[in-house]
């Protein structure tokens, strides 16, 4: 089984290695503690299947899937996007 990978388009998320605390520190330095939201495209590859997501990451730790091309009936785990 392929462990998969996730690639983000946002430079800040990449700079923080996808870690919420690291990304939050970077954003707080940039916006001075105000509320923020990062919009990023995420490409998830797993088991020879590739899916794309448009994600909104919020300062409060919430992540919203705004758009995806993943078919609902596709039986492929995406543990990287669990609740």
Per residue in 5-28, pLDDT (tens digit) is 899 999 999 999 989 999 999 999
Residue 9 lies in a domain: yes
Domain membership flag for residue 34: yes
Total number of domains in the chain: 1
Is 36 part of a structural domain of the chain?
yes
Q: What is the pLDDT of residue 45?
A: 87
Residue range(s) defining the domain that contains residue 65? 5-71
Distance of CA 30 to the CA centre of its chain: 19
pTM of the model: 0.77
> Is pLDDT of 78 > 70?
no
Examine residue 52 and state whether it is found in any structural domain, yes or no.
yes
Element (H, E) at 37: strand 37-46
For residue 80, tell me if it sits in a domain: no
- Is 77 domain-assigned? no
């Amino acid at each position: 089984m392929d462990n998969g990978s996730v690639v983000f388009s946002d430079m800040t998320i990449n700079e923080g290695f996808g870690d919420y605390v690291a990304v939050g520190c970077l954003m707080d330095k940039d916006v001075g503690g105000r509320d923020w939201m990062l919009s990023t495209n995420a490409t998830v590859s797993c088991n020879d299947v590739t899916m794309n997501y448009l994600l909104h990451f919020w300062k409060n730790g919430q992540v919203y899937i705004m758009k995806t091309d993943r078919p609902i009936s596709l039986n492929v785990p995406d543990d990287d996007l669990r609740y």
